[in-house]
Amino acid sequence: MNADEFKVLHDNLEEHINEIKMTLKIKDLLENPKQTKKFERMRYLYYSTVKALVDLGHSIILENDLRDPLNGADIFISLAEKDIMMSSVVPGLKKAVLTLPQINSMKHAQAFEIIAETIDDIYKCLDSFVVYFGLQGENTGK
């Protein structure tokens, strides 16, 4: 992926993250049945955002011939080992990736808690990719 392709993806993911953060602030999100569609959209955006970050991280690993990750969560550990990502965000990212397969079947309160706990680390992960692609563009003259 080049810097221009990443820019488009970044803009979409940043929009998703901001919408998730705004939805998390809705006071009666879990109690009001009228908010169910908003909650389900937030859950969908969360799933697709985390999945996109995993795919992006894996492509960076492949492009740079880094060690093969053991699983989706290990992708972020591998990137942190090479200072492509801050190691402080890895625990939140691991939690997001490891719970992703169950996020759609979890009770609303449980999913809400995981999303709320990990969304800032997800945003910081995206920021790490911004730095990576920014530096990559500078190094290749793009």
How many domains, in total, are found in the chain? 1
Query: How far apart, in Å, do the first and last CA atoms of the chain sit?
Result: 12
- pTM value is 0.91
Compute the residue count for the chain.
142
Single-letter amino acid code for the residue at 20: I
Task: For Cα atoms 44, 6, 73, give the angle at the middle one, nearest 5 degrees.
Answer: 55
Q: For the domain that residue 108 is a member of, what is the CATH number? A: 1.20.120.580
State the pLDDT at residue 138: 54
State the pLDDT at residue 135: 62
pLDDT-based confidence at residue 4 (cuts at 50, 70, 90)? confident
State the pLDDT at residue 140: 46
Q: What is the pLDDT of residues 119-131, one digit of tens each?
A: 999 999 999 999 9
Range of the domain at 126: 3-140
| Rounded mean pLDDT, 48-63 | 96
Q: How far apart are CA 95 and CA 103, in angstroms?
A: 11
| Contact assessment for residue 13 and residue 52, using Cβ atoms and an 8 Å cutoff | yes
Q: How far apart are CA 121 and CA 84, in angstroms?
A: 14
